Amino acid sequence: MQDYTPIELFEEERYGLEQHTASGRYCLSIVVCTPWVEYLEHYELTPEEFEKVSADVAARLELVAKCRARENDSRLMEPPPADRGTPCTGDRGGCLFYVDPNQPFRTLQNFRAEWFTLQQEVKTGKYCLSIPVNITPHFQSSEEYELTPEEYRHLSQDKTALLALKKKCCDRQNDARFMGPIPSKRGTSYQ
């Protein structure tokens, strides 16, 4: 996985314009879904194309349609996984493009059925596994466990290892990787 900086996100339509952090290359990203995960596919744009689709909604939507139809796979900035999903459209919920300026994390992959996400801390770029927890019947929070970039790359492609790590975190056997101070009152995670 590579790191991208959002430039303009279209949450309801499930696509965005982003920039590769290290190289500065521009791209169009679309949300793709498998039965167990949502992830982003990034399609490289030239600076001229980026300027055009930034200003021209019709050109942007035409490009989105071609990427969703897999007519631009030669522009993919990273190879898709072996179990490549299908493009998600606005009729399906999700949080990959929900960027709350008050939240310190950006969701990279959302595992709905298993109740966890892979995220990246906005300020530091650190990767983490985030698990929702119930503090009380009316208050939910989350716990984040740090991952190295190598662990993130591996886990984002290996569901078995990822589920094993999630269980370890839920069972409180990975607290050495807990991001931030461990709260005195901890919630119950979804197993």
Shared domain for 109 and 83, answered yes or no, is: no
Residue 95 lies in a domain: no
Report the pLDDT averaged over residues 45-70. Answer: 95
Residue 99 lies in a domain: no
pLDDT of residue 187: 75
Shared domain for 110 and 65, answered yes or no, is: no
Shared domain for 80 and 143, answered yes or no, is: no
- Per-residue pLDDT tens digits for 82-117: 778 888 875 544 555 544 455 677 777 777 778 888
Q: Are 104 and 123 in contact (CB under 8 A)?
A: yes
Q: Which residue, among 38, 48, 33, 40, has the nearest Cα to 16 in the 3D structure?
A: 40
Shared domain for 130 and 64, answered yes or no, is: no
Task: Give every CB contact of residue 4 below 8 A, 6+ residues apart in sequence.
Answer: 18, 19, 20, 21, 27, 29, 40, 42
This prediction has a pTM of: 0.58
Last residue of a domain, one of 87, 122, 145: 87
Question: Does residue 189 surpass a pLDDT of 60?
Answer: yes
Number of structural domains found in the chain: 2
- Domain housing 12: 4-87
Residue 61 lies in a domain: yes
Shared domain for 60 and 120, answered yes or no, is: no
pLDDT of residue 23: 92
Residue 72 lies in a domain: yes
Cα 27 from Cα 77, distance rounded (Å): 8
Q: What is the largest CA-CA distance in the chain?
A: 53
Cα 128 from Cα 117, distance rounded (Å): 8
Question: Does residue 1 surpass a pLDDT of 50?
Answer: no
Residue 33 lies in a domain: yes
